[in-house]
Amino acid sequence: MNINIANTEIKKRGFLDLDIDPQLDLFAEIEKLKKEKNAILLAHYYQEPDIQDVADYIGDSLGLAQKAAETNADMIVFAGVHFMAETAKILNPTKKVLLPDLNAGCSLADSAPAPLFKAFKDKYPDHLVISYINCTAEIKALSDIICTSGNAEKIIESVPVDQPIIFAPDKNLGAYLNKKTSRNMLLWNGACMVHEIFSAEKITKLKIRHPQAKLIAHPECEEVILSMADFIGSTTQLLKYTKIDNYQQYIVATETGILHQMQQASPSKTFIPAPPNNSCACNDCPHMKLNTLEKLYGCMAYEVPEITMEESLRLAAKKPMDRMLEISRAAGLIG
Ligand code: 13P
Ligand code: SF4
């Protein structure tokens, strides 16, 4: 396949659909490509275990942004979703940033279309805008500071208490942060399809069946789930908690990909995925799970799909990202 054919294929499908020899050792091939191309492979915890195992760095959104900003590799291969790869390009524009499947979006980012958000923001000219990193570059460009679930409290606390704030796009995280910081931020009505699916009723039953288990939850979950949780944190914070805590069983209310690292770090402990309110595997993120080892290999071999962006948009989106990185650095926060 030549580069032109690869680009046509990307326009058609959003990823390269290669006919890969099933005998090929994709782990070894990906390692080889990393060295050949001086590439770093960054993966989110929600990626499938095979991808996590071949990654150079696995992290939450804060850690991934920090790594993308500081790397001196020539190529950043992002095993995550579109807004994450876009964030890497915003922070480190001279690198070639690749995403194995351009269709890997995010329901939370989709819940805040830029024109609608701009009209909303214009109604409150005295408000400062704090946006969760799970948003498009256009929303970042309309924001004053970006945050992640790992640093949101510190970011909000850096703003004077009498300053009115708009928080976007996650209403669940926003409501949780309003409680934690005693603020009254105006919330955009967005949510993550994965974290809204957990069933309080089924978790209650599960807790009765496993009385020795703690419930740990991501703050993108609804209030009813968070009110039942023993610990709430970003994916990195949840993982760290399970390493240092002395319980042996955990019901985990976030995307199931994180269980791979939890189980590896604490092989003797039991991790139970929190049940969704129906019988599908809806607590698997359909966007994150679009990436596969095969697509990853094709993407690295042919260097497509690549993330590109208008320089004016990149610069506007970088300002609130830099603010976030500065506040996180000053607070000693690493994802
Ligand atoms: P963190 O990894 O930052 O906790 O975010 C979770 C998430 O939903 C990413 O899409
Ligand atoms: Fe977006 Fe939710 Fe998937 Fe994270 S888990 S990428 S917030 S849809």
Q: What is the pLDDT of residue 281?
A: 67
Predicted TM-score (pTM) of this structure = 0.96
Same domain, 23 and 97: yes
Closest atom of ligand 2 relative to the 83 alpha carbon: 6
Q: Using the mean position of ligand 1's atoms as its centre, give its distance from the Cα of residue 154 in Å.
A: 17
Strand partners, 214: 250
In a domain, residue 309? The reply is no
Q: Using the mean position of ligand 1's atoms as its centre, give its distance from the Cα of residue 179 in Å.
A: 20
Cα distances (Å, whole numbers) of residue 93 to 97, 237, 319: 8, 29, 14
Q: Do 75 and 58 form a contact (C-beta atoms < 8 A)?
A: no
Same domain, 20 and 54: yes
Q: What is the pLDDT of residue 160?
A: 98
Q: Which ligand is nearest to the CA of 192?
A: 2
What's the Rg (C-alpha) of the chain?
A: 20
Q: Using the mean position of ligand 2's atoms as its centre, give its distance from the Cα of residue 193 in Å.
A: 7
Q: Using the mean position of ligand 2's atoms as its centre, give its distance from the Cα of residue 136 in Å.
A: 13
In a domain, residue 269? The reply is yes
CB of 172 closer than 6 angstroms to any ligand 1 atom: no
In a domain, residue 282? The reply is no
Same domain, 175 and 216: no
Q: What is the pLDDT of residue 278?
A: 79
CB of 66 closer than 6 angstroms to any ligand 1 atom: no
What is the C-alpha separation between 135 and 127, in angstroms, rounded?
A: 19
Long-range contacts of the stretch 66-75 (C-beta < 8 A, 24+): 66/325, 66/328, 66/334, 66/335, 67/40, 67/42, 68/42, 68/92, 68/97, 69/325, 71/40, 71/95, 73/38, 73/39, 73/40, 74/37, 74/38, 74/39, 75/37, 75/38, 75/39, 75/40, 75/300, 75/303
Please name the residue whose Cα sits nearest to atom 2 of ligand 2: 192
Pairing of strands 128-132, 165-168: parallel
CB of 84 closer than 6 angstroms to any ligand 2 atom: no
Same domain, 232 and 253: yes
Q: Using the mean position of ligand 1's atoms as its centre, give its distance from the Cα of residue 25 in Å.
A: 30
Q: What is the pLDDT of residue 305?
A: 97
In a domain, residue 279? The reply is no
Pairing of strands 57-59, 39-44: parallel
Same domain, 93 and 114: no
- 3-state SS track over the chain: CCHHHHHHHHHHHCCCCCCCCCCCCHHHHHHHHHHHCCEEEEEECCCCHHHHHHCCEEECHHHHHHHHHHCCCCEEEEECCHHHHHHHHHHCCCCEEECCCCCCCCHHHHCCCHHHHHHHHHCCCCCEEEEECCCCHHHHHCCCEEECCCCHHHHHHCCCCCCCEEEECEHHHHHHHHHHHCCCCEECCECCCCCCCECHHHHHHHHHHCCCEEEEECCCCCHHHHCCCCEECCHHHHHHHHHHCCCCEEEEECCCCHHHHHHHHCCCCEEEECCECCCCCCCCCCCHHHCCHHHHHHHHHHCCCECCCCHHHHHHHHHHHHHHHHHHHHCCCCC
Same domain, 64 and 91: yes
In a domain, residue 147? The reply is yes
Same domain, 218 and 188: no
Same domain, 86 and 120: no
In a domain, residue 278? The reply is no
In a domain, residue 335? The reply is no
What is the C-alpha separation between 168 and 276, in angstroms, rounded?
A: 25
Number of structural domains (the chain) is 3
What is the C-alpha separation between 140 and 30, in angstroms, rounded?
A: 32
CATH number reported for the structural domain that contains residue 116 in this entry: 3.40.50.10800
Same domain, 188 and 143: yes
Please name the residue whose Cα sits nearest to atom 7 of ligand 2: 192
Q: What is the pLDDT of residue 1?
A: 74
Closest atom of ligand 1 relative to the 59 alpha carbon: 2
Same domain, 74 and 157: no
Closest atom of ligand 1 relative to the 45 alpha carbon: 2
Closest atom of ligand 1 relative to the 106 alpha carbon: 10
Q: What is the pLDDT of residue 180?
A: 97
What is the C-alpha separation between 326 and 322, in angstroms, rounded?
A: 6
Please name the residue whose Cα sits nearest to atom 1 of ligand 2: 106
Same domain, 99 and 7: yes
pLDDT in tens, the chain (335 residues): 777 788 888 889 999 999 999 999 999 999 999 999 999 999 999 999 999 999 999 999 999 999 999 999 999 999 999 999 999 999 999 999 999 999 999 999 999 999 999 999 999 999 999 999 999 999 999 999 999 999 999 999 999 999 999 999 999 999 999 999 999 999 999 999 999 999 999 999 999 999 999 999 999 999 999 999 999 999 999 999 999 999 999 999 999 999 999 999 999 999 999 998 877 767 899 999 999 999 999 999 999 999 999 999 999 999 999 999 999 999 999 88
Same domain, 98 and 15: yes
Q: Using the mean position of ligand 1's atoms as its centre, give its distance from the Cα of residue 84 in Å.
A: 10
Q: Using the mean position of ligand 2's atoms as its centre, give its distance from the Cα of residue 2 in Å.
A: 33
Q: Domain limits at 264?
A: 200-273
In a domain, residue 170? The reply is yes
Q: What is the pLDDT of residue 9?
A: 86
Closest atom of ligand 2 relative to the 46 alpha carbon: 5
